[in-house]
Structure formats: C-alpha cells, structure tokens
Amino acid sequence: MKQIITAHIVLAGPNLEQIADGAVVVEDGKIVKVVPEQQLTEADREQAELIALENQTVLPGMIECHNHLSIDARKNNHLEILATATECKLTLLAEEGLRDDLLSGVTTVRCMGEKHNLDFKLKKEIDLGNVVGPDILPAGVGMKGSNGSGYIGEPHSGVEEFRRTARANIANGAKLLKIFTTPGVFSVEQDFIPSFLSAEEIRTVVEEAKRLHLPVAAHCIGGQALRDCVEQGVDVIEHAYCASQEDIELLKKHPECWVDLTTGIYLDPEREQYLSEGSARNVRAGREIVRECVGNLVRAGIHFALGTDANHGLLWKEVVYTVELGASKLDALKGVTSNAAYISRLSGKKGELSEGADADLIAVTGNPLEDPAVLAQVDFVMKKGVVYKQNGAPTACCHSVQKVL
C-alpha cells in the first residue's frame, strides 16, 4: 500500500529541517521519500492514497522516553494503586494509558520497569495487532536495592542477584535494562541523597547489557549514585532532579551518558492533586530546587531526551517545560524525536522522517519549532503506515482491535 502525505510544513531528517509544502511518501509502513511536493514524480503518485494536511506541520511520531504501563499519573493515589492492584486491573489501566499515548502523538514508548512483565505481554499484543498502542521498548523487571524505596522495581542484593535478573530480562526480550539507585521524590530536609546500589552492582548490570549492545537506564536524582552510574558506564540518567554543578561537570566529561528529563513531576502543579499529601508537599517544597538544577543542566548543553514518568498523553508538556528551562525549541523537540531515538538505539528507524524509517508521523496545526504548545492538540497520527487519528478524531483502527483484553 502506498500513501502520500502532504502538508504546509514537513520537519525532515534527524535535525527536523523544514520543508515548505512538503510530501512524505509511504509504502508498506516505511518512508520511501521526503521531498517538496513539487518534486513528486508520476511514479510516486501512481496508485497512491493522498492524505492532504493543509495548513499543518508534519513531524515524526513522538517517543516517550520514561513510561510506566502499570502507573497512570492522572489517577488519584496512583502509586498506592500500583502497590495493591491485581494484574488484571493494571493491564486494563495500561491499555487505557497506551491508547491515550498513541492518540496524543506518541508512537513509541520506552518502558522503565513494570509489574507482572506487562511491557513484554502488551508489546506482543500490540505487535500482533490485538491491542492499540505505541510500539513498546520493554525493560522488564526494574532492579532496585533491597534497602531501596519506591513501588516500582524488585529488591536485589549482591551482584549475582542483579546479574540473574538482568539475564532473565534479556531472555524475555528486553530492549534496555533499568536500575533504581536513589529515592524518587526527595525531601528538602535531607542534606544528602541516599545511594542504594554499590558501584559493583551497577557495573554488573552494565556488563550484562553491553555484551548484547543494550542500553542501561538508571533512576537517579543526583549525588553519589549519579557519579557511580556515570563512572560505571550507565547510558542514561533518569530524572537528575538534584544534579549539582559537580554532577554537571562530570556529565560534560562523559558525553556518552545522556539524561532523560521528567521535570513535569515537579513543575506541573496539576499533578499534585493525584499524589498523596506527603508526596505533594515534597514536590512543592522541591519545585524551585528542581527548576534551578535541571535548568543548569540544560543550559550547560548536556544531551537530553524527555519523558513524563507515566503522565499518559501529556508528553507535550515536557517539551514546553524544557524550553522554559533554557533549551532551544529545536533541541526540546528533538528530545521527543531524533534524540529520543538515539538513546533508544533506534536512530534511522524512529524519531525522524527519513528514507527507510518507520512511517510514524503526526500532524499539528501551527509549527512546534515556533510554539511547542501546539503539540497539545495532535490532529493526525500514523504508526507504521496505519492511520489512528485523522481530523482530530480516532479512526476505526482504534476501535476494531481490542480482541484480547
């Protein structure tokens, strides 16, 4: 099947270069050409379905770099739900979140540790066409220390326990490995950041991943754990809320280590209502610290991608917040497209409109390189050549495949 998508502006390639009156030619779910519309040939147009998106900007489908399928940050007491809910309830919750992600323009999600192996199970059903959702990059069981905190992740102690779980995740089809090294929401009353994993435990997971060319992501807000992660070869630091100037200087020396920013947890006051009273209080108290620390990190030029930490359907907010913190609009948009693909080991396949890439593309009214907030209203969504949203409404493809659950 051949399709031609035309638009007022097409953001092409990994650097999102603007093509006025552009066209994307898609065949069998892959992009075969990205050119100005006037350069289309008769052969291009032959037997092609034309999708004309006038007055719109077409860009790559977004990649959500910090997702949890078994958490929905839009639900009251969502962390408490995670602690007590059955696998059935969490599966239904995950299906809802995945659909909302897709319709918001997210065509790939990077999962950061799940209960009940939900990421593996739902990836299979999405790949088979039984469930609607973005493509899933599963991590499997998140690995935290036996003295660690948080509802996500299973406790481990000693290098052999970490090695065993790392290998089990890889055997199940993990596309990355996830470790938890610090608390999540910090208390401003503490004068240090606890570190729950030893350097040896971190290095063990990195060694297991690198032998199979898989990346390692570490939940880490800063402190000694950040230094251990960077020095032991972790690929991506998740959150970095409390990154000090010392941490930033270390990251500058190790440009191979990126950060995945999820600052909306602190900067978006609308999220407080869904937290417990204690967590909401800590978020309010830490808001300006996070604004300063992450702003310093962004302005220092540290490489970053963006995620929401389970705020399904609202990835656009992270782009807006990152611009407010000092990033260029281009870099912020690359944080959910080509740079997100880079940390996911998907460059050339996802996150860009280029020949040979998956036909994952979305359209918005306006230009996100001028105003990132236009991403709040995605009018068109295509994933691998299938249209899931058109003219601002879900298509029949969103309603016809809920066969399994």
**Is 321 part of any domain?**
yes
User: Does one domain contain both 306 and 205?
Assistant: yes
103 shares a domain with 17: no
Whether residue 262 sits in one domain with residue 169: yes
Which of 200, 135, 215 lies closest to 161, judged by CA?
200
Length of the chain: 405
CATH number for the domain including 367?
2.30.40.10
Are residues 81 and 123 both part of a single domain?
yes
Judge if 205 and 220 occupy the same domain.
yes
Question: Do 84 and 146 share a domain, yes or no?
Answer: yes
- Return the SS3 of 270: helix
For residue 180, report the phi and psi dihedrals to the nearest 5 degrees: -120, 115
Mean pLDDT, contiguous 10-residue spans, the chain (405 residues): 97 98 98 98 95 97 97 90 90 96 98 95 96 97 90 92 98 98 81 93 98 97 97 98 96 98 96 90 94 98 98 98 98 98 98 98 98 98 97 86 46
Tokens standing for residue 261: 């920013």
262 and 297 Cβ atoms separated by less than 8 Å: no
Q: Are residues 53 and 191 in the same domain?
A: no
Q: What pLDDT is recorded for position 367?
A: 98
For residue 308, the SS3 value is: coil
* 66 & 184 share domain: yes
| 339 falls within a domain | yes
Domain presence at residue 400: no
Give the contacts of 114 (CB within 8 A, at least 6 positions apart).
68, 69, 70, 138, 139, 140, 141, 142, 152
Q: How much is the pLDDT for 399?
A: 72
Q: Is residue 108 part of a domain?
A: yes
- Per-residue pLDDT, 400: 54
Please indicate, yes or no, if residue 401 is contained in any of the structural domains: no
Full domain range(s) for residue 204 = 62-343
Burial class (CB in 10 A: 0-12, 13-18, 19+), 83: exposed
Q: Hey, which residues does 291 pair with through a beta bridge?
A: none
Q: What is the pLDDT, as a whole number, of residue 171?
A: 98
Q: Is residue 133 part of a domain?
A: yes
Residue 213 lies inside a defined structural domain of this protein: yes
Helix (H) or strand (E) holding 201: helix 199-210
Which sign does the torsion angle of CA 242, 246, 250, 252 carry? Answer: positive
Looking at the structure, tell me whether residues 272 and 298 fall in a common domain.
Answer: yes
Domain assignment present for residue 405? The answer is: no
CATH number, position 304: 3.20.20.140
Q: Are 360 and 382 in contact (CB under 8 A)?
A: yes
Number of domains in the chain: 2
Report the phi/psi class of residue 261: left, alpha or beta, with left for phi > 0 and alpha for psi in -120 to 50. beta
pLDDT value for 210: 97
Does 324 share its domain with 383?
A: no
3-state DSSP assignment of residue 181: coil
Claim to verify: residue 15 and residue 74 sit in the same structural domain: no
Are residues 310 and 389 located together in one domain of the fold?
A: no
311, 308, 314: which is closest to 377 by C-alpha? 314
- pTM of the entire predicted model: 0.96
Q: Is residue 101 a contact partner of residue 64, using CB atoms and an 8 Å limit?
A: yes
